[in-house]
Amino acid sequence: QVQLVESGGGLVQAGGSLRLSCAVPGSGFTINVMGWYRQAPGKQRELVASLPTGGSASYADSVKGRFTISRDNTKNTVYLQMSGLKSEDTAVYYCNVNVYLPFDEVRYDFWGQGTQVTVSS
């Protein structure tokens, strides 16, 4: 069983920066895609950024140029560096990792617990 552990959320003023982290503990799996979603109150969850293994990062138009997704493969950790934050970035951010379990020959989506990001004007 894999559980994702998120950290880095908080309160920041507009124009500020935050870095979210998401660690994938355990072993016996390979990572296909790591990404970040967010959900604002009353809104549908949306994909913010994703980074497939061996591929290129993708970003939502609303965050492109301000957010950067990266991975540290030695730590099995994905980061979301957020700069130039705006009030509309306020949301609960969820880490998502799609993994493949060779023993069971099955793919799973694992989710973090969510971390609140609040941007004040």
Structure confidence at residue 77 (pLDDT): 94
Q: What is the pLDDT of residues 40-88, one digit of tens each?
A: 999 999 999 999 999 999 999 999 999 999 999 888 899 999 999 999 9
Q: Return the sign of the alpha-carbon dihedral for residues 62, 54, 30, 83.
A: negative
Structure confidence at residue 73 (pLDDT): 85
Pairing mode, strands 115-120 and 10-13 = parallel
- Return the structure tokens found at 120: 């004040």
Structure confidence at residue 1 (pLDDT): 46
In this prediction, residue 27 has a pLDDT band, given cuts at 50, 70 and 90, of: confident
